[in-house]
């Protein structure tokens, strides 16, 4: 009888463990390198704690005409206007809500220094739809990002 109980507990632990792992894996599908719809920037999405965020890791035009590196010069906070755009954390605070949806986050647009509410929807393993909006989702715009991978050396 005791042997049977041990076996059942083991199966239960395994089942719970696998379920948790699969949920974690499901949510982590967003992690990786993504190219924005215009093809002018690439964003690396990572996980920190139980949240997801992203930073700009590549810009098609990383410098100004005078050769200096692009910075966050449109930020309303003057103290942040010298921060380089390359490496800038432009996606913050996303939580996985199940069914390939991530919400509760924000996206920053360096072009005008505005922060928008943002939802991300994983369409397939290599496509996400990033919707920035004001207040309610109706007032927004969706951009489709494609996954890219580093070329093997």
Partner 1 sequence: MKFNILLITLFYSCISVAQTPIDTAKTEEEDFSMYADVEAASSTDKSKIYCSQKILGLSPSKLISIGFDFVGANAIDTDTIGSYFGNTADFNNNSGIRFAANFPVISNNKVILSLGVNYLDFKYSAVAKENNINPLINSLNKNGLRSYGINATLFKPFNAKLFGVLQLAADHNSAGKLDQFHENAIKYSGAAIFGCKPHDRLQYGLGVSQSYRGGALNYFPIILYNYTFKNKKWGFEMLLPAKANVRYTINPRNLLFAGFELEGNSYYMDPMMTNYNLGYRNIQLQRSEIRPRLTYEFSIYNFIWLSIQAGYRVGYKFNVDNVDYKADPLIMNNKVSGSYYFNVSLNLVSP
**Which positions touch partner 1 (CB under 8 A)?**
2-3, 6-7, 9-10, 13-14, 16-18, 20-21, 24-25, 28, 31-33, 35, 37-40, 42, 44, 46-48, 53, 55, 57-58, 65, 74, 76, 86-87, 89, 109, 111-114, 116, 125-127, 129, 132-134, 138-144, 146-151
Least CB distance to partner 1 at residue 120 (A): 13
Report phi then psi at 72, rounded to 5: -85, 60
Give the tokens for residue 59.
């810009």
97 or 134: whose CB is closer to partner 1?
A: 134
Least CB distance to partner 1 at residue 133 (A): 7
Largest CA distance in the chain: 79
55 or 80: whose CB is closer to partner 1?
A: 55
Least CB distance to partner 1 at residue 77 (A): 13
Q: Residue 103: which of 93, 90, 116 has the closest Cα?
A: 93
Is-contact 75 113, C-beta < 8 A? Answer: yes
CA-to-CA distance for 104 and 26, rounded, in angstroms? 18
Least CB distance to partner 1 at residue 50 (A): 10
CA-to-CA distance for 115 and 123, rounded, in angstroms? 24
99 or 138: whose CB is closer to partner 1?
A: 138
Give the tokens for residue 65.
């005409």
Least CB distance to partner 1 at residue 123 (A): 11
């Amino acid at each position: 009888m005791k042997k049977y109980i041990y076996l059942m507990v083991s199966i239960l632990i395994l089942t719970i463990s696998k379920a948790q792992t699969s949920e974690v894996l499901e949510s982590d599908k967003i992690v990786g390198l993504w190219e924005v719809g215009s093809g002018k920037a690439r964003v690396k999405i990572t996980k920190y704690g139980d949240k997801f965020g992203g930073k700009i890791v590549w810009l098609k035009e990383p410098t100004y005409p005078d050769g200096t590196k692009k910075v966050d010069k449109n930020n309303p906070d003057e103290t942040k206007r010298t921060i380089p755009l390359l490496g800038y954390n432009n996606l913050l605070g996303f939580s996985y809500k199940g069914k390939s949806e991530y919400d509760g986050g924000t996206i920053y647009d360096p072009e005008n220094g505005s922060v928008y509410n943002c939802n991300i929807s994983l369409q397939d393993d290599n496509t996400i739809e990033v919707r920035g909006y004001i207040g309610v989702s109706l007032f927004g715009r969706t951009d489709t990002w494609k996954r890219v991978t580093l070329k093997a050396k």
